[in-house]
């Protein structure tokens, strides 16, 4: 009887150790490539870059590349059907295989516009006049 109980216990432990696992990966691409990427204020590398993520939802994305405007935006990652509350227990714990949820986000960066000297001086003069003589 003890041998049978030990065998059932051993099989149960092996089954629990070999249960499901969900890996989530986000790949960020920029046009042009090579932009330095921050995801939720954490630097993750130069595009194209991949990183694992833990939760679905809204992520802050910042991309910087010399000669281009800094891109500050959000990217929403929606959860798949097997990660909905209730169902996620089976995909995370009981499913015997591994699931790899791969997502990607593509961003186009705009070239940086540098104002010419005369335009810059004109804007500075207008700002000075407004700040000195504006009574509001």
Task: Tell me the pTM.
Answer: 0.66
What sign has the CA pseudo-torsion 126, 127, 131, 134? positive
- Give residue 89's pLDDT: 67
Strands 21-31 and 57-64: unpaired
Choose between 99 and 31: higher pLDDT: 31
% of the chain residues with pLDDT over 70: 79
Distances (CA, A) of 20 to 16, 25, 91: 9, 17, 6
Q: At 92, is the pLDDT very low, low, confident or very high (cuts 50, 70, 90)?
A: low
> What pLDDT digit, counting tens, does each position of 11-44 carry?
555 555 555 577 889 999 999 999 999 999 999 9
65-83 per-position pLDDT tens digit: 999 999 999 999 998 877 7
Instruction: Tell me the CA end-to-end span of the chain in Å, nearest whole number.
Output: 91
CA dihedral 31, 35, 41, 43 (to 10 degrees): 130
Distance CA 125, CA 128 (A): 5
Q: Is the pLDDT of residue 87 over 90?
A: no
Q: What is the residue-wise DSSP string for the chain?
A: -HHHHHHHHHHHHHHHHT--EEEEEEEEEEESS--EEEETTEEEEESSEEEE-SS-EEEEEEEE-TTBPPEEEEEEEPPPGGGSTTTHHIIIII-SSEEEEEEEEEEEPPBPPPPPHHHHHHHHHHHHHHHHH---
């Amino acid at each position: 009887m003890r041998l049978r109980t030990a065998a059932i216990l051993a099989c149960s432990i092996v089954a629990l150790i070999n249960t499901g696992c969900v890996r989530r990966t986000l790949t960020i691409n920029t046009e042009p490539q090579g932009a330095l990427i921050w995801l939720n204020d954490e630097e993750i590398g130069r595009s194209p870059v991949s990183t694992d993520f833990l939760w679905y939802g809204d992520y802050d994305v910042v991309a910087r590349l010399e000669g281009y405007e800094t891109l500050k935006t959000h990217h929403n990652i929606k959860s798949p059907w097997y990660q909905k509350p209730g169902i996620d227990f089976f995909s995370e714990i009981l499913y015997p295989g591994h699931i790899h949820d791969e997502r990607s986000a593509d961003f186009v960066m705009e070239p940086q516009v540098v104002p010419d000297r005369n335009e810059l001086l004109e804007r500075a003069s207008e700002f000075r006049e407004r700040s000195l003589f504006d009574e509001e």
